[in-house]
Amino acid sequence: MQFLNIAEFARDNEGESFIPEGVCAKKITFSLEEGRVHNLNFVGGCQGNLSAISVLLEGMPAEEVIEKLKGIICGNKGTSCTDQLAKTLEKQLSIR
């Protein structure tokens, strides 16, 4: 199941952000610096878990994040906040 709509992707002074679909998070922002994930923030969703994930992923190579998170699903949604992050990172790496 593919929910991610790259048209919802934006870049501003906070970094890069997108509006995920079909999950509890309302917005996900991050910065990619030299292929590494920084300043990851989830708005909405399971804040305790997503805050912990943000800390764990800080400075991790985007390719490693993709390998670890792509395909993770939440309940019967067919996707998850982290799955959509992985798919967005994958698309961003392919267009850079």
What is the residue-averaged pLDDT of the chain? 88
pTM of the full structure: 0.86
Confidence of residue 13 (pLDDT cuts 50, 70, 90): low
Per-residue pLDDT of 23-65, as tens digits, reads: 999 999 999 999 999 999 999 999 999 999 999 999 999 999 9
Confidence of residue 16 (pLDDT cuts 50, 70, 90): confident
Helix (H) or strand (E) holding 44: strand 36-44
Residue type, 36: R
Are 83 and 66 in contact by the 8 Å Cβ rule? The answer is no
Look up residue 18 and give its two tokens. Answer: 């997108």
pLDDT value at residue 27: 93
What is the third-level CATH fold of 6-95?
A: Enolase-like; domain 1 (3.30.390)
Look up residue 4 and give its two tokens. Answer: 């991610």
Domain ranges of the chain: 6-95
d(CA 75, CA 95): 31
The answer to whether residue 2 scores a pLDDT higher than 60 is no
Helix (H) or strand (E) holding 53: helix 47-57
Beta pairing class for 10-12 and 15-18: antiparallel
Residue type, 16: E
